[in-house]
Amino acid sequence: MRTRKVDKVTLWYCQDNDRVAMNTLTEDGEVVKIWLTCRILDRLVPHLAQCTSRSDVPCETSDTEAEPAANRKVLESDASPEVLVTAIHIAQSEQSTTLGFDDQSRSERYSLSLADRDMQKWRQALRDCFRRGGWSEAAWDFEYGFGGEVMSPSSFTIH
């Protein structure tokens, strides 16, 4: 499996597809649109609260910062490849939490490493996507201690 490092992301809800889209800028400069379904995100969310790490990857998720949004967002073009994620590999270490988004054929993994601050921003942006889509927020109960305890090893995959 080929792993491609993601340097920057823009996360948003796409009403036409009823999915979350993540426009990613890879380390080789290619923009790839990664599609995330409600089903796989419902399985991911309970684990996100445990993701505490440190890294330097910027996660651009808010339009409220001083820099103009057009300068920050990763924008796809008609030529941008699209990937439907069918599995997410989560690896945690003292330095980072890495989310590996696998395509349907399992031939490529898009790897996003996030620090604590960036993980918090990414979770908030993801929750905003749930709200925009009118999706159930029951999976988020784990984040606030209402859903029981989620025991996660340092490395695992969800499908």
Question: Is residue 120 domain-resident?
Answer: yes
pLDDT at 146: 43
Measured CA distances, 24 to 21, 33, 48, 83 (Å): 9, 6, 19, 11
Does residue 133 sit in helix, strand or coil?
A: helix
Extended strands (E) in 37-145: 59-60, 82-84, 87-92, 97-102, 108-114
| Residue range(s) defining the domain that contains residue 118 | 2-137+154-158
Tens digit of pLDDT at every position of the chain (159 positions): 899 999 999 999 999 999 999 999 999 999 999 999 999 999 998 887 766 433 344 444 433 333 334 457 888 888 889 999 999 999 887 777 899 999 888 889 999 999 877 888 888 999 999 999 999 998 887 655 444 444 455 666 766
pTM: predicted TM-score of the whole model, two decimal places: 0.78
What is the rounded CA–CA span in Å between residue 151 and residue 153? 7
Structure tokens at 28: 């080789």
Structure tokens at 131: 């709200």
CA gyration radius, the chain? 15
Structure tokens at 25: 């800028």
Structure tokens at 66: 């001083």
pLDDT at 54: 34
Question: Is residue 64 domain-resident?
Answer: yes
- Number of domains within the chain: 1
Question: Is residue 30 domain-resident?
Answer: yes
Question: Is residue 147 domain-resident?
Answer: no
Instruction: Measure the CA angle with vertex 9, ends 3 and 11; round to 5°.
Output: 120
Structure tokens at 46: 């309970």
For residue 77, the domain's CATH number is 3.30.2450
Question: Is residue 106 domain-resident?
Answer: yes
Question: Is residue 69 domain-resident?
Answer: yes
Question: Is residue 149 domain-resident?
Answer: no
Question: Is residue 54 domain-resident?
Answer: yes
